[in-house]
Amino acid sequence: MKQFITIASAICLMSMLHSCATIVNASKKGKTEVFLIDAPGDIQASSNGQSLSKTSEVFAANGRTNGAVAFYTTAVMLPRKKRATLELYSPSTGQKATVALKPKLWGKMVIADALLTAGIGWLIDGPTGNLLTLKPRLIDVPAAMAGKPRSKWRSQGKLKRQTKRGIKKG
């Protein structure tokens, strides 16, 4: 009987953890952030002819003994289930860039569903689109504005590491 109660408790806990993740994703109304790394302050973004509002999102944080340091970067929110074309323009430099974004499986959510809910989360997140995110998620704005092809951009991992190193020094 103790084993049954332990297993039932674990299943309930996993379901509650998964429902929290689903609620957080639902609060974004089917959209996901696309981070504009090293973007000029006057960057303008649009997608499929519609102007996008920019937000300042926490990209990385570093806890320190004298307080926490957070790095904010410019981000735009786009629907995660559809392909999108992101147009960027900087009036100060006069440069433009166009980036094609595609929905792809979000590996972290797939793994979280497998581990936390023993796969049950896939039944909810699959149809709702919570397993998807737009790729590339980090846009190398200077490279895109310079007209470099996607293959010549800094890698997603390098962009993350560089940004996190920046806040450690700050």
Q: What is the pLDDT of residue 89?
A: 93
Q: What is the pLDDT of residue 87?
A: 92
- Determine contact, residues 102/150, Cβ cutoff 8 Å: no
Domain map of the chain by residue range? 2-169
Tell me the whole-structure pTM to 2 decimals. 0.66
Q: Which residues contact 76 (CB under 8 A, 6 or more apart)?
A: 33, 34, 36, 45, 47, 52, 53, 54, 55, 86
pLDDT in tens, the chain (170 residues): 778 788 777 766 666 655 555 555 555 666 778 888 888 888 899 888 888 888 776 655 555 545 555 666 778 888 877 888 999 999 988 899 999 888 876 766 667 766 766 666 666 666 666 677 778 888 888 888 988 888 888 887 787 776 666 555 44
Token couple for 151: 């293959």
Q: What is the pLDDT of residue 88?
A: 92
- What is the sign, positive or negative, of the torsion defined by CA atoms of 58, 50, 137, 145? negative
Q: What is the pLDDT of residue 78?
A: 85
Q: What is the pLDDT of residue 81?
A: 79
> Rounded to 5 degrees, what are φ and ψ at 160?
-65, -50
